[in-house]
Each structure stands twice: as structure tokens, then as C-alpha cells.
Copies of this chain bind each other. A is one copy, B any other.
């Protein structure tokens, strides 16, 4: 059982792993800083504990600890118990979820390991919005996509806000970096994946016709710029989601959801 440590002083250094969560240069989940992962709320904390990440501390109010009793039963780590006010002082804002969990980042997964056994993967380029990244993982989990891969210029999927928006699924759905972007797409193709670029371009093939592979890698770019042309050229086919004229491209996580749905639909 995670052992209770009561803390009344927000300056207590034992809480440093939860301090200044909104600080752009001090927050503990900066990948080049402390490199932690912070889970907010009971549901996401549960998913952190069940994940490949090793949870090493909790900070929360008693009510949330009681909700987590089963989850923390087998852990030998501190649960720093305090009040909502002290928590707010520590993290830097009022946190209405009442509990946080912290873990160290394990080594990144290798592309080969993530592709092994996968049938549907998303590959992202330039997706630098944490909420979109979080939604992407949530949709991948919900619709049974196997992994998310990162090309260039994507934001950190393990930032607290992405973790929260993903409802913790960023801790569960495997992800890896594609090296030597975009040439590294060949590594995916060599595993037998059909590499499909999603684009709003009306001359592209409708998604349902384009997706013919047994294994499929779906490339998505950020809203607005979309995929770079030289990335498009490194794919097997350009596919579009049929859109109404005069509208904007869909949110990238929504576009991905539609492609994942199409996969599920085809597999019956």
C-alpha cells in the first residue's frame, strides 16, 4: 500500500515533483528537465499505475486517496496527503481533480517494437498542439488503432495536458519516433504497411477506396499546413475524407478518428 505522508507546508521539498506545473521552464514534466509524467485525477492516475510507467509518488486529498485504494494497494511509494489549498499552492493553480501521480519516463520505445504486430498506426508530422495529441491517443485507443508514430515537429505527448486530454491513453497506446524523417517511412513500408497520406485535397482518392492494405500507416499533418509536400511524396497514396465545400479541414484528431473508424468498419 502506498504509505501516507501528511504534508502541511507547500514549500516542503518532498513535493518538488509536483511543483509549478504551469511553469514553462520549471515544470517537472519538461522532457529535457526532470522528465516526469504527471497524471491528474483518479482515472488517469489509475491508468498511470497500470501502464509501463513506474509511478513513484502521489499528491492528493484524502477523498481521492480513498477512491484510489485498490489502485495503490500494491505500491510501496509515498502518497503525500494534504489539502486542496496546499495542493493549489504547490502546483500553482486550483486543481479540481484532487490528486496527482508522478512517474519517471521509461526509455522510449523502438519503432520496430511498436510496429511488431500492429495493423493500424497513425504517423504524425507537425502536430504541436497538446490537446490535439491527447485527443489523437484517446481516439486511437477507442477505435483500436495500435500505435502512434512521430515524425518531425510534434509536441511532447507526455506533457500533462496531453496526458489528461487523452484520458490516460497516451500511457497505454504505444508510441515511437520515426528516425530520419521522412525517409524513415521506408522502415514502415518495409514491414508491409501501406503508407497513406491524409489530405483535404479534393483530387485525392476517397479514404474508403484508398485504404487497401492489410497493414496501414495513416499520415496526418497539423490543421492548416497539413503534411509537407516532400512527406506526401514519400507515401503510397493520398487519401481524403469527403468534405463539404467551403468548409475548413477537420481537426487532426477527428480526421484520424474517421480513418480509424474506416479501418474498424472494413474489418467488419
Whether the pair A138, B251 counts as a contact (CB closer than 8 A) is yes
Contact of A257 among B247, B248, B258 (CB under 8 A): B258
User: When the two chains form their complex, are residues A143 and B244 in contact, meaning their CB atoms are under 8 A apart?
Assistant: yes
Which residues of chain A (112-162) have a CB below 8 Å from chain B?
Answer: 135, 138-139, 141-144
Nearest B residue (CB) for A135: B251
Known: A241-B261, A257-B254. A247 touches B142 (CB 8 A): yes
Q: Count of A residues near B, CB < 8 Å?
A: 27
B247 touches A141 (CB 8 A): yes
Provide the A244-263 mask, 1 if CB < 8 A to any CB of B, else 0. Answer: 10011111011001100110
Residue among A242, A257, A261, A262 facing the most chain B CB atoms (10 A cut-off): A261
Residue of B143, B243, B262 near A142 (CB, 8 A) is B243
**Choice from B139, B242, B248 contacting A167 with Cβ under 8 Å:** B248
Chain B residues whose C-beta falls within 8 Å of the C-beta of A138 in the assembled complex? 248, 250-251
Chain B residues near A241: list those with CB within 8 A: 143, 261
Which residues of A63-107 have CB atoms within 8 Å of chain B's CB atoms?
none
B251 touching A265, Cβ below 8 Å: no
The proximity string for A residues 189-215 relative to B, scoring 1 for CB distances below 8 Å and 0 otherwise, is 000000000000000000010000000
For A208, what are the chain B residues with a Cβ–Cβ distance below 8 Å? 265
In the complex, residue of chain B having the shortest beta-carbon distance to the beta carbon of A140:
B244
* A142: nearest chain-B partner, CB-CB: B247
**A19 vs B257: C-alpha distance when bound (angstroms):** 38
**When each residue 18-38 of chain A gets 1 if its CB lies under 8 Å from chain B and 0 otherwise, what string results?**
000000000000000000000
A-B contact pairs, 20 of them (CB 8 A): A138-B248, A138-B251, A139-B250, A141-B244, A141-B248, A142-B243, A142-B244, A142-B249, A143-B242, A144-B243, A144-B244, A167-B248, A241-B261, A242-B261, A242-B265, A253-B254, A254-B254, A258-B258, A258-B261, A261-B261
What is the interface of chain A, defined by CB distance below 8 A to chain B?
A: 135, 138-139, 141-144, 167, 169, 208, 241-244, 247-251, 253-254, 257-258, 261-262, 264-265
With A143-B243, A253-B254, A254-B254 known, 13 other A-B pairs at CB within 8 A are A135-B251, A138-B250, A138-B251, A141-B244, A142-B243, A142-B248, A142-B250, A143-B241, A143-B250, A144-B243, A242-B264, A261-B261, A262-B265
